[in-house]
Structure formats: C-alpha cells, structure tokens
Amino acid sequence: MSASLDRRIAAKIDKVGVTPVVANSGGMILAKGEVTGVDLKALVRNSGDIYIGGPDSRPYSGYGYCLEPGESFHVEVSNLDRIYVVSCVSGDAVTWASVR
C-alpha cells in the first residue's frame, strides 16, 4: 500500500480502541460517539468467541453475530453505543476503528 493511500485511510479514522468484553448476558456497549461505520476484530489471542448485537437484539453466549478469534466484521452505524458485544470468556477483547 502506498504512503499516500495510508494517509487517506488514516485521515478517515475517527476513533480506535481495544475493548475487553464481559461474559454477562446482554453484553455491553462497545463505546460511545457518533460515527458512520466501524470495523471490529476479535483478538487472535482470545480464548473464545465474541458475539455482536444491537440494542433491540442484545447478544449473549451463542446468540448474535459470532466472531471467532481473529475474525473481523464491518457495520455502518450512527453511534458506537448501538453496538453491543459479549464474550464467551470474560476478558477476551475486540479491537475496533470507526470512521466519521
């Protein structure tokens, strides 16, 4: 990838984070802030799966969009607090980057 393309991509990234995820049924919000989209990736070192859902269909172990360790997902969303995540193993994490 060229350096100029790297700079254009980086200019669109608004927020980034690594979020440790709880195993509580119903999950937790990923973060807060207005965005137009977010990429999530389950860390490769995770011991279990991460499930993704929304405020009207909150995830729990075995329910939601499943991310196995190392898998990623993109979603267009207006606010990071519209994304809920839950882990099969408390303390596993997702890394994420949002665009605005």
Instruction: Encode pLDDT of 40-80 as tens digits.
Output: 999 999 999 999 999 999 999 889 999 999 999 999 999 99
Alpha-carbon distance of 50 to 100, in angstroms, equals 25
Tokens encoding 12: 């669109």
Give the other-Cβ count within 10 Å of 76's Cβ.
9
Euclidean distance between CA atoms 27 and 18, whole angstroms: 16
pLDDT > 60? residue 4: no
Mean pLDDT along residues 19-28: 92
Residue 23, C-beta contacts closer than 8 angstroms, at least 6 positions apart: 61, 86, 87, 88, 89, 90
pTM: 0.85
Q: In this predicted structure, what is the pLDDT of residue 50?
A: 96
